[in-house]
Amino acid sequence: MNTLTKMALGLIGQLKSTPLAFDPGQSIHLPTPAAVGGMPLMQALATRQSQRQFQPAPLPEQTLSDLLWAAAGINRVELGGRTAPSAMNAQEVDVYVALATGLYRYAPKVHALHLVAATDVRRVTGYQDFVDTAPLDLVYVADHGRMKTIPAARRESYASMAVGAMAQNVYLYCASAGLAAVVRAWFDQNALGQSMGLDADQQILLTQTVGMPAATASAGHG
């Protein structure tokens, strides 16, 4: 669906996800992440870029596992520490995973995906046309209900800091793994929130598309 069509549908409240014609299952238990190896950090930083052309093929489960662990996985089991920081350890940000097979929420403690909605919400995750067919759109959602000890005026900025760290983790993993990625903030907040079934305490802060780079893709800006 092109950008103008999405904008027009959004104006009349008709930008919606696509129900699945099959039962996707309640959970996806991800394989153990490969937390060793990969590209050296400085090389990954030198390679990191935004790309907006993706192959539609789904990512292998091992790749999805490694990517989500990089974003917000547990890297210190004894402490429950994550790969991305969280102010006052509120752990207020959830990573939602929009696949062709449904919308899932990443559960770091069990390293699994739990089904949220049996719909394909990818086209609602942004006004850009490429989000419809890219294999993976991540949606970063802050739950203000977990931030009661943080002053209300500071909650969005604190959560945004955590989301920025997660998104950069994903960028660096993608650089290491030869994947294409781009962060996005241009989306219909109401349409996406409704498609995801979010409540008043939950705020979408950022989205990010990931996939294998298209054969014709060139180096991007950002």
How far is residue 124's CA from residue 151's CA, in Å, rounded to a whole number? 31
Type of residue at 171: Y
Which tens digit of pLDDT belongs to each residue from 163-197?
A: 999 999 999 999 999 999 999 999 999 999 999 99
Is the confidence at residue 219, as pLDDT, over 70?
Answer: no
How far is residue 33's CA from residue 50's CA, in Å, rounded to a whole number? 24
What tokens does 185 get?
């903030």
Residue 10: its pLDDT value, please?
87
Of 183, 186, 177, 170, nearest in space to 221 by CA: 183
Specify the residue for token string 């990089």.
70
Q: What is the mean pLDDT of the chain?
A: 93
Instruction: Write out the DSSP string of 73-106.
Output: -EEETTTTEESS--GGG---EEEEEEETTEEEEE
Distance of CA 58 to the CA centre of its chain: 15
Is the confidence at residue 216, as pLDDT, over 80?
Answer: no
219 vs 95, higher pLDDT: 95
Identify the H or E element spanning 47: helix 41-47
Residue 193 and residue 203 in contact, taking contact as beta carbons nearer than 8 Å = no
Which tens digit of pLDDT belongs to each residue from 24-64?
A: 778 999 999 998 889 999 999 999 999 999 999 999 999 99
Residue 22: its pLDDT value, please?
77
What share of the chain in percent tops pLDDT 90? Answer: 77
Average pLDDT over residues 95-112: 97
| All domains in the chain, ordered by first residue | 3-12+54-211 (3.40.109.10)
Residue 81: its pLDDT value, please?
92
Residue 221: its pLDDT value, please?
64
Average pLDDT over residues 153-166: 94
Average pLDDT over residues 112-131: 95
How far is residue 139's CA from residue 194's CA, in Å, rounded to a whole number? 13
Torsion of CA 59, 63, 68, 73, to 10 degrees: 160
If phi > 0 it is left, if psi is from -120 to 50 it is alpha, else beta; for residue 164 that is alpha
**Worst-scoring range by mean pLDDT, 17-21, 65-69, 130-134?**
17-21
Is the confidence at residue 21, as pLDDT, over 90?
Answer: no
Q: What are phi and psi of 4, to 5 degrees?
A: -65, -40
